């Protein structure tokens, strides 16, 4: 395990996003706790998230969107297209990897995929740079 880049299972959002590489989680001030840590002081982006607040997830008490009968729904497809285009990551691919290999293997692979080749720190999916040393990745 890379001590500079810890990823816990609760940092993987229902949509398959790895919150450990999100700029809102990585920042120092007003740090987001991750999508699964719901509280009254939650960042507005989480409180308004259509995927996290999906009725199917709540009613059926699903952990991940791939467990839903409508997967991939329009919300997931829209997010996936945006993340593929802007951030070099597929939400649907993440969810399929979790479904097929399990959360432990997914996290193990994420630690490799999103670790800075220079220092081992986390690469921010939204900025394309290492939050540890500042190395620009893309």
Helices and strands of the chain, counted as H and E runs = 6, 0
User: What is the per-residue pLDDT for 84?
Assistant: 96
pLDDT per position as a tens digit, 21-59: 999 899 988 888 888 765 656 555 556 677 877 877 777
**CB within 8 Å of 2: residues ≥ 6 apart:** 111, 115, 120
Query: How much is the pLDDT for 122?
Result: 95
Predicted confidence (pLDDT) at residue 2 exceeds the cutoff of 90: no
DSSP 134: -
Which of 9-18, 58-67, 84-93 shows the lowest per-residue confidence on average (mean pLDDT)? 58-67
Q: What is the pLDDT of residues 65-120, one digit of tens each?
A: 999 999 999 999 999 999 999 999 999 999 999 999 999 999 999 999 999 999 99
CA distance 15 to 117: 27
Confidence of residue 1 (pLDDT cuts 50, 70, 90): very low
User: What is the reported pTM?
Assistant: 0.88
Calculate mean pLDDT across residues 126-132: 94
């Amino acid at each position: 395990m890379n001590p500079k880049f810890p990823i816990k299972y609760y940092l993987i959002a229902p949509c398959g996003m790895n919150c450990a590489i999100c700029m809102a989680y990585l920042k120092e001030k007003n740090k987001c706790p991750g999508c699964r840590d719901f509280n009254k002081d939650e960042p507005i982006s989480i409180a308004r998230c259509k995927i996290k607040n999906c009725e199917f997830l709540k009613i059926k008490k699903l952990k991940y969107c791939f467990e839903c009968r409508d997967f991939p729904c329009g919300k997931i497809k829209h997010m996936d297209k945006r993340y593929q285009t802007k951030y070099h990551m597929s939400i649907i691919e993440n969810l399929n990897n979790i479904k097929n290999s399990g959360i432990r293997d997914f996290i193990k692979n994420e630690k490799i995929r999103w670790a800075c080749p220079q220092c081992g720190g986390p690469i921010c999916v939204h900025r394309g740079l290492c939050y540890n040393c500042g190395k620009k990745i893309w």
